[in-house]
Amino acid sequence: MFTNMKLATKLFGSFVIVLALMIGLGTYAIVQLSTVNASTVDIATNWMPSVKDVLLTRGNLHRVRVLELRTILTDDANEIRDAISESSDRIASMRKTWEEYGKLLSSPEEKQLYDQAKADLDGFIAEHDKIVTLGAANKNEEARNVLNGTSLKRYNAFRTATDKLTEINVNGADGAARTAAEVFANARSWVIGTLIGCSILALAMAFLITRSLVRQLGGEPAYVGEIANSVSNGDLTLDIQTRAGDNTSVLAAMKNMVGKLSHIVSEVNGGAEALAGASEEVSATAQSLSQASSEQASGVEETSASVEQMTASISQNTENSKVTDSIATKAATEASEGGEAVRATVSAMKQIAQKIGIIDDIAYQTNLLALNAAIEAARAGEHGKGFAVVAAEVRKLAERSQVAAQEIGDVAGSSVELAERAGKLLDEMVPNIRKTSDLVQEITAASEEQSSGVSQINAAMTQLSQTTQQNASSSEELAATAEEMSGQAEQLRNTISFFRISGMADARRTRATARKPAKTAARKATPVLDLAMADGDMMDGGIDERSFARY
């Protein structure tokens, strides 16, 4: 399995394994160092501060007892006052120190002893207050009895409890130190063993990788480099020596590569000759096609111009038809409105004739009344003469009104007949005008359809013109590309001449005598060489055209 791995996988795997062992070793060492550090921190932050607090409290307690004895034995008031003041400070310090120690308790046993010692300390402080009070009252004998009695018992009980507490904390510190020492010893043994194992494993893997690398190369790296340099200089006449049965090494692959390269170079040179001849034929065909495409493009452009003119004429007819349709529609509307106005006029004239008839009747009745009035005035004799004159005048006015009313009635009747005739003529004109508008709309629709069809023809002609122009341009590009291919083939032959293979010089001379002169390239070409090396196809078949750059 190891021999089938890639070189990168082998190297990477080896370093990963060594790195994993180093990480494991470092992790183990860190864990053990953490344990040692925890023990050291426990000693520094718990056990030693606990011992310090206990011893400091005991020292202050002993000093307070000495100060109590001084207050009893001395008669100097200043000395007594100083002793009492110092005692108060010592007691406050003891309380504070003891409270700090209470935060560092680590076991139920220590907690029990701590509570017991605290009770003894509180009792001692209470007895101290009694001693101070008795001493201040000059009751020294009673104060001495308290000092040597209950106070001494509290003092001794506190010392006994603190001795045990000190022992517990000292033993805890010793245990933490022993644990740290044991962890250090175990870690040192494990680290030394792991380092030895890693060294052995690294040496074994280095040996295996070196051996595998030499097998993969197939020989010494210097010999492989010499072969590679010779190939890079174009020498394909090499006789590469490999081990018997070696088919997978780099050296064996290079031997196979040199053989195939020799065959490929020979075939590529022949293909370049064929490519040069074919490119000349393609160039001639492309130039002929380009000329025909240019002529066709000119004809298409003329046809397109004629179609555009016809499109403009049809568009103008369409616009004129739309204007005529608008005018006809407006005339039909106005004629219809005129007919309505004439009918309204006829109706008004008929009403006027009726009113004039009424006026004629009124004039006739007035004439009769005036005649009757004249008759009655004649009967009245002299008394009715004035009335008869008035009646005669009224009769004349009535006759004149009747005549005028009859004349107006005749005129109104004639006007009604004329208006009715005009209305009939307008009614007959409206359908004709509407029919004309419909015909104009049909002409407009037909013109729009013709315009749309001609526009499509024009678009098709434009597209055809563009296609023809593109074909002409493509033909010109094809001709230029063919000439460029000819130049590329010549450059390819020059490039292949870099390689040295057996029989290459004779073949080169033979092809040089049979080669036709190449045309000058349309533009300067850039040499492009793309050799495809297959395992078996190039040995058995001919040139694959995909091996060259496509234009």
What is the SS3 string spanning 481-541? HHHHHHHHHHHHHHHHCCCECCCHHHHHHHHHHHCCCCCCCCCCCCCCCCCCCCCCHHHHC
Residue 178: per-residue pLDDT: 82
The CATH architecture one would assign to domain 261-505 is: Orthogonal Bundle (1.10)
- For the segment 212-240, the average pLDDT, to the nearest whole number, is 74
Q: How confident is the model at residue 39 (pLDDT cuts 50, 70, 90)?
A: low
Beta bridge partners of 235: 500
What pLDDT is recorded for position 279?
73
Question: Is residue 136 packed enough to be buried (19+ CB in 10 Å), middle (13-18) or exposed (0-12)?
Answer: middle
The residue-averaged pLDDT of 64-90 equals 81
**Whole-number Cα distances in Å, 175 to 30, 44, 185, 188:** 21, 13, 15, 20
Q: Is the pLDDT of residue 185 over 70?
A: yes
Q: What integer pLDDT is reported at residue 531 of this predicted model? A: 35
- Domain ranges in the chain are 7-212, 261-505
Round the average pLDDT of the chain to a whole number and report it. Answer: 74
CA proximity to 278, closest of 519, 472, 470: 519
pLDDT tier at 3, thresholds 50, 70, 90: low
Specify whether the CB–CB gap between 187 and 32 falls below 8 A. yes
Range ranked top by mean pLDDT from 34-43, 190-199, 510-519: 190-199
Return the pLDDT at 520. 40
Distance CA 372, CA 323 (A): 73
**CA-wise closest residue to 345 among 407, 410, 292, 422:** 422
Quick one: which of 116, 86, 89, 100 has its CA closest to 53? 100
Q: From the DSSP assignment, how many helices (H) and strands (E) are in the chain?
A: 11, 0
pLDDT for position 537: 43
Give the mean pLDDT of 44-70.
78
The pLDDT assigned to 41 comes to: 66
What contacts 539, CB < 8 A, 6 or more positions away?
Answer: 260, 263
Q: What's the rounded mean pLDDT across residues 354-378?
A: 79
Q: What is the distance between the alpha carbons of residues 328 and 307, in angstroms, rounded to a whole number? A: 31
Work out the burial of residue 268: count CB atoms within 10 Å of its CB; fewer than 13 is exposed, 13-18 middle, 19 or more buried: buried
* DSSP code at position 548: S
Q: How many CA atoms lie within 13 A of 256 on its CB side?
A: 14
- pLDDT of 5: 67
Q: Which of 158, 170, 167, 168 is nearest to 59 (CA)?
A: 158
Give the confidence band of 167 by pLDDT, cuts at 50, 70, 90.
confident
177: Cα separation from own chain's centroid: 61
3-state SS assignment for residue 235: strand
Distance CA 500, CA 260 (A): 13
How many residues appear in the chain?
551
| Predicted pLDDT at 4 | 64
Confidence at residue 543, expressed as pLDDT on a 0 to 100 scale:
38
Give the model confidence (pLDDT) of 502-536 as tens digits: 655 555 555 544 444 444 433 333 343 343 333 44
Greatest Cα pair distance, the chain, in angstroms, is 189
Model pLDDT, residue 544 = 44
How confident is the model at residue 504, as a pLDDT? 57
DSSP 220: -
- pLDDT for the residue numbered 27: 85
List the Cα angle 95/96/97 in 5-degree steps: 95
Assign residue 548 a region: left if phi > 0, alpha if psi is -120 to 50, beta otherwise? beta
Higher-confidence position of 119 and 468:
119
Residue 90 has pLDDT above 80, yes or no: yes
Q: DSSP readout, 140-193?
A: HHHHHHHHHTHHHHHHHHHHHHHHHHHHHHHHHHHHHHHHHHHHHHHHHHHHHH
Residue 500 β-bridge partners: 235
Instruction: Domain 7-212: state its class.
Output: mainly alpha
pLDDT tens digits, 97-114: 888 887 877 788 888 888
In the chain, the N- to C-terminal Cα span, in Å, equals 47
Task: Quote the distance between the C-alpha of residue 543 and its chain's center.
Answer: 47
| Inter-CA distances, 493 with 27, 179, 526, 549, Å | 65, 84, 14, 14
CA dist 393 and 371 (Å) reads 11
The region that residue 243 occupies, defined by phi over 0 for left and psi between -120 and 50 for alpha, beta otherwise, is: beta
**pLDDT number for residue 252:** 74
pLDDT at 317 over 60: yes
Does 161 or 48 have the greater pLDDT score?
Answer: 161
Residues 266-294: pLDDT tens digits? 777 777 777 767 777 777 787 777 777 77
